[in-house]
A and B are shown apart, each in its own frame.
Chain A
Amino acid sequence: MQNELLQNKPNTAREIDPIAIYALATHLPASRPHKSLLGSLIRSAYNHLYQPAGNFSRPSNVRRGVTSIASPVYEVPTAEDQERTADLASLAVGKLLAASPASKDAVSAVFHNQCTLDQQISGSGCLRIQDDHFGQTELSMMIGQLGTAGIPTVFRLASLSFKSGRLTCISACDKWIAPFVRSVPGVLTYGDASAACLAGKMEAGSAPIAVIENIVTSCIPLPGDLWSTSVALQREYLLDHARNVIETLLSQHPDLRRDELVLIGDGYGSDFAAELSASLRVPSVPNFHSDIHLSSASPLFAVSKAIALATERDRTQLSVIWTISQSGHAAAMLLRACAGAVEANGAWLARGRLAA
C-alpha cells in the first residue's frame, strides 16, 4: 500500500505566513462507560436518518433500525444526552474568554469545525458561537467534510482573513451518537470533545503561546469502502498516510534536527504512535489520551499538549502536530510552542494575560 500512497504526494499550496495562537482552551466531558460500538443512544436524535434520504447518510454497515452493536465495556469522554455539538463548542470558547475576556472585542471572525451531525435538523454551530460570545463578526463559517482532520485546513483558511490587531476564534467539536460508529476495535475509539483557540497574525510585541510555522494537508482516499475495509488494511493505510504527510512537512525543513522535535497526534493507540515515531526517527509524546481519538478537536488538544511540554521544559518546543482521518484527509503542522504560557481552568494563555 505504501507505494500506491507515495504516488499521491500530499500538497501544501504555498509556505504560509506564521500563524500565532494567543490563547487555547479544551473541554472534555466526563468519561462514561459504553457497551456498544456505536455512539451514544439518544432516542430523540436523528429520526430523519431513517427516512429514504437517510440511506446515504448512515454507515452502510449498520442496518436500518440498529442502534447498538455489542462490545466489551469501555470508557470515553461522553457528552450528556441533551448537550448538543454547539453546546460543546460554545463551552470551550467560553472557557477561553473567561481566561482572557479582554480578547473578546478583538475577535473579527469565527471558524468552526466538526465532522459529526448535530442532533437537531436545523441550526448553525458557527453562528451559535458568534451569538453566544462575539455579537458581530465580519465572517463566521463552519468548515467540514474533512473527517476528524479538519483543523489544519481551518487554520489555512482563517489566515486568509487575518487582520492586524484582530483575532480569529477557531473551534472544533464532535459528539458521537448512534447509528454512527464510535469505536472500531483495532483502529480507534472516538471521544466527545471540544476545543477552541484565538489565532491571528504574528505581530511585533505580541505574546503568542504557540506559532504554526507550516501546514501540509493531504487528501488520499482510502482504497475501498470505509465501512467494509478490514481493520488491518485501515490501520496500514492510516499509518502510511500519516507517515507520508509528516515526511512531506519535514522535507520542507531540511535543517530541523529530528531528535529535537516531538510528534503529537491523534489517539490511535501507543503502538501506532510508536511505529510512526520509529519510522520517522522523531520522538513521540502522547496526546491527552493515547488510546482515545478526541475527534475534530484532537489537533487542538495536541497543540495544548505541546504548550504544556514547552512550559514544563521551560524552553521553546518544536513539535509536529499530526492528524489523520478515516475519511482520507490528513495534515501535519510544524508548531513552535513558546515557554512561559500559563494554564488556568483548562485554558492556556501568555503569562501576564490571565484575567484577574
Chain B
Amino acid sequence: MSKHLPLTDIGIADAAYHLPGSPIDVVDWGREQDAAPDLISLLLANDCRYFFDGPNVSDVDSIAAAIDKLSIDDADWQSGVRYLVHAHTQNFSMPAAPSSILTGLAERYGLDLKLCFSVSHLACASLINGISLAAQLLQNDPEARYALIVSSDRTFGGSTYRLRPPGCIQSDGSSAILLSKEKMRCRLGHATMRNFAQLHEGPSNPTTIAATARLTCFHSIQLLRDHSEETGIRLEDYGQILPVNADKHYWLKIAEGLGLNESHFFFDNFPKLGHANCADFAINLADRGFDLLDQGKLVLAFGQSNVGAHAALTLVPN
C-alpha cells in the first residue's frame, strides 16, 4: 500500500440497502408498457434485465427500511448519531417543499443531531460528496461518535426515464451507511471529486444527450487517473472497482482506456438489480466490497453522473 495514501480516522461501521418489492423483468414489463422491442433488446445486450419499482413508498419510509437493516455492534447506536446526511440523484425524489426528509428521519429515530443536510444536483456523485462532508464533520468533533449517511431515489417520468438506453434501467431504492470512529468494517481513504460543469443540463435534449455520451467516459477516466495520482495507488492495486450499476458499455471503454481487465470492475449487480442511483454505493459495498475488504484488499467506490459530476473514494481494510 502506498505511503502517500491520505487516510482518515473515520470508517464505515456498516452499510445496508432497500429495494422495494420483487425484481421486475424488463422483458415482461416492456411488453406491458408497449416499449419498442428493439429498445428492450438493446438493454438486454448491454447486460440489463431486472429492476425495482416502489411507487407506494415515501422517501422516509424507504430510507427507514434500509436503516433498519444496519447491523451495528452497539444496540444504542442511534443515540450516538450527531450528523445526518442525505443524498439523492433523482431531483424529484423528495417530499413536497418545504417538507424535509431529514426531519422525518430525526423524528422517527429520535436523533439528537448537531447538523443535517442533503447533497444533490450531482446525481450519483452526490453520495461521495456527502460522505466527504460527513467524515470531515465527524473527524472535527471529538464528542460525536457516528454520522448516518442515507439516500433515496424514486424514478419519475415513466418508461422514458426508467429506461436509459443503451445500458441503463433505473431502479427505485434507498441506502444507509453508518460512519464511525470505532468498530469499523473499513476505513475511509481519499476522496476525489471533479465536476465537468458544461454538462449541467443533464440528458434533457438531443444536444445534451450527445454531449453526455461523448464525454462521460473521458471524464471518468480523467477522474480515475487523478485519484490514482492523488493517492499514489495504482488502479491495478485495488481488489476491485465498484462502479454505479449502469452503462456497462461505458465501463468497458473506461477499462480499455485505463488498460485494466474487465474483471477489475464489479458488474454482477447490473442485470440483477438495475441502477438504484445513489444507493448503488451501499449495494455494491454490501454485496461485494466488504468481502474484498475482509480479505485485506483495497476497494475503490465510484460515483458517476449524467450532469458532469464524478467522484471516487478509496476504502481501506481496517
A residues in contact (CB < 8 Å) with B: 8, 11-14, 48-49, 51-60, 86, 112, 115-118, 120-128, 130-131, 135, 137-148, 150, 153-154, 156-157, 160, 174, 180, 217, 219-222, 226-227, 325-329
Contacts and interface: CB of A to CB of B under 8 A. Distances in A.
Most A C-beta atoms less than 10 A away, residue of B98, B119, B121, B200:
B98
B259 interface: no
B122 A142 contact: yes
Nearest to A52: B55
Nearest to A135: B197
A57 B307 contact: no
Q: Which size bracket describes the interface of B in this complex? A: 35 or more
B220 to A, nearest CB: 16
B109 to A, nearest CB: 11
Most B C-beta atoms less than 10 A away, residue of A51, A174, A227:
A51
A13 B133 CA distance: 14
A147 B100 contact: yes
Interface string B88-122: 00011111111111111011000011111111111
B97 A329 contact: no
Nearest to A293: B98
Closest 10 CB pairs of A and B: A122-B202, A328-B103, A145-B118, A142-B121, A127-B200, A52-B55, A147-B98, A131-B197, A327-B100, A124-B121
B239 interface: no
A51 B129 contact: no
B140 interface: yes
A127 B197 contact: yes
A160 B137 contact: yes
B85 to A, nearest CB: 10
Nearest to A157: B133
24 contacts: A11-B115, A13-B144, A48-B92, A48-B157, A52-B55, A53-B155, A57-B94, A123-B121, A124-B122, A127-B122, A131-B200, A140-B195, A141-B129, A142-B121, A142-B122, A145-B94, A147-B100, A154-B117, A157-B117, A221-B107, A325-B98, A326-B99, A328-B100, A329-B103
A117 B101 CA distance: 14
Contacts of B137: 13, 160
Given A123-B121, A123-B200, A219-B106, 20 more contacts: A11-B112, A11-B113, A54-B92, A57-B96, A58-B96, A115-B98, A121-B91, A127-B121, A127-B197, A128-B201, A131-B197, A140-B195, A142-B122, A144-B120, A145-B117, A146-B117, A156-B115, A226-B99, A327-B98, A328-B107
Interface in B181-228: 193, 195, 197-204
A118 B91 contact: yes
A117 B92 contact: yes
A60 B95 CA distance: 10
Interface string B116-139: 111111110010010001001100
A43 to B, nearest CB: 17
Nearest to A138: B193
Given A48-B157, A116-B97, A127-B200, A141 B92 contact: no
A108 B199 CA distance: 19
B102 A123 contact: no
Contacts of B114: 11-13, 217
B197 A217 contact: no
A226 B98 CA distance: 9
Nearest to A61: B96
B113 A219 contact: yes
A221 B156 contact: no
Contacts of A116: 97
B156 A48 contact: yes
Contact of A145 (B57, B86, B309): B86
Most A C-beta atoms less than 10 A away, residue of B112, B201, B309:
B201
Interface of B: 55-59, 82, 86, 91-104, 106-107, 112-123, 126, 129, 133, 136-137, 140-141, 144, 154-158, 161, 172, 193, 195, 197-204, 306-309
A128 B200 contact: yes
Contacts of A153: 115-117
Nearest to B54: A53
A114 B156 CA distance: 20
A13 B115 CA distance: 7
A327 B195 CA distance: 30
A191 to B, nearest CB: 14
Given A122-B307, A124-B309, A329-B100, A140 B91 contact: no
A51 B144 CA distance: 41
A57 B200 contact: no
B121 A145 contact: no
Given A14-B140, A127-B307, A145 B101 contact: yes
Contacts of B140: 13-14, 160
Contacts of A112: 121
Contacts of A327: 98-100, 103
B157 to A, nearest CB: 5
Contacts of A128: 197, 200-201
Contacts of A48: 92, 156-157
A96 B159 CA distance: 42
Nearest to B59: A56
B97 A115 contact: yes
B123 to A, nearest CB: 7
B169 to A, nearest CB: 15
B119 A141 contact: yes
A138 B192 CA distance: 10
A139 B193 contact: yes
Nearest to A148: B98
B103 A123 contact: no
Contacts of B198: 131
A180 B306 contact: no
A152 B307 CA distance: 27
A124 B136 CA distance: 24
B204 A221 contact: no
A221 B86 CA distance: 17
